[in-house]
Each structure stands twice: as C-alpha cells, then as structure tokens.
Amino acid sequence: KMAANSAKQLAKLGQCLQKFCKTTDFNRVMAKAVPVACTKNTCTVELAIDTEHANTYGTLHGGLTASLVDTMTTMALVANDSPPGVSVELSVSTCDRRPWAARCSSTPRLSSWASRWPS
C-alpha cells in the first residue's frame, strides 16, 4: 500500500510542477523542476539552475533559495492532499561562493518536509 500511495503523491507533485510551466507569475522559476520523490510530509525535485535563478556570480540567488524552501514545503502539503499552508517560520543559511554552491548548468536535488500541517 505504501508504494501505491507514494506513486499517487509523486503524480500529484508532478501535476503541481506542470502548473508552474504555464504560469507567468513568480512561480515560473520552478518550471524546470522535475519530480524525484514524494512521500508523507516530504517531496524532492531536481531543478536545473539557469541564469534566471542565478545572482551576479552565477550561483543560485539566496533570495530564490528562500522562495524555493517556501514553495517546496507547500508542494509537500498539496501532494499529500492537504490544503496549501502559510509559512510560519523560514530559515535559510547561505555561504560564500565556495565550490559547492549551486551554479548555472548544475542540477541540485531539493528536498522539503512539512513539520506542521494545517488543521
């Protein structure tokens, strides 16, 4: 039963991501995201980083990182048949331009989990 449930959640995550491909609002930055996994409370996507996601240094923009965290936690809720929530607390730590920073043409894996559910 768990595998079928995960497949259903992954399909729902894919549907959410398809909507981002058609939008012209800010959520369009997720248009290149590809669903990887989705289980209860979590979702994982891969996002090909392009110039639209980058700062002046060619690495993932810190402000976009915060938006990705917010969007991904909402997708974890929606993929599990919960209504979209509102971020209560959001924390992003950034580093300087080290070799491990997400750069243009890289495809990092982004994972999120929802620790609180709307009641």
Q: Domain extents for the chain?
A: 1-84
pLDDT, average across residues 63-89: 80
- Of residues 85 and 78, which shows the higher confidence score? 78
pLDDT of residue 100 exceeding 50:
yes
Contact 16, 80 (CB under 8 A): no
What pLDDT score does 119 carry? 61
pLDDT, average across residues 14-42: 85
What pLDDT score does 35 carry? 87
Average pLDDT over the chain reads 79
Contact 84, 74 (CB under 8 A): yes
Cα–Cα dist 55/65, whole Å: 11
CATH superfamily of 1-84: Hotdog Thioesterase (3.10.129.10)
% of the chain surpassing 70 pLDDT: 85
What pLDDT score does 2 carry? 45
Cα–Cα dist 16/59, whole Å: 26
pLDDT, average across residues 34-40: 85
Query: Hey, is 6 helix, strand or coil?
Result: helix
pLDDT, average across residues 97-116: 74
Close Cβ partners of 38 (under 8 Å, ≥ 6 residues apart) = 6, 9, 10, 12, 13, 44, 76, 79
Residue 54 DSSP symbol:
B
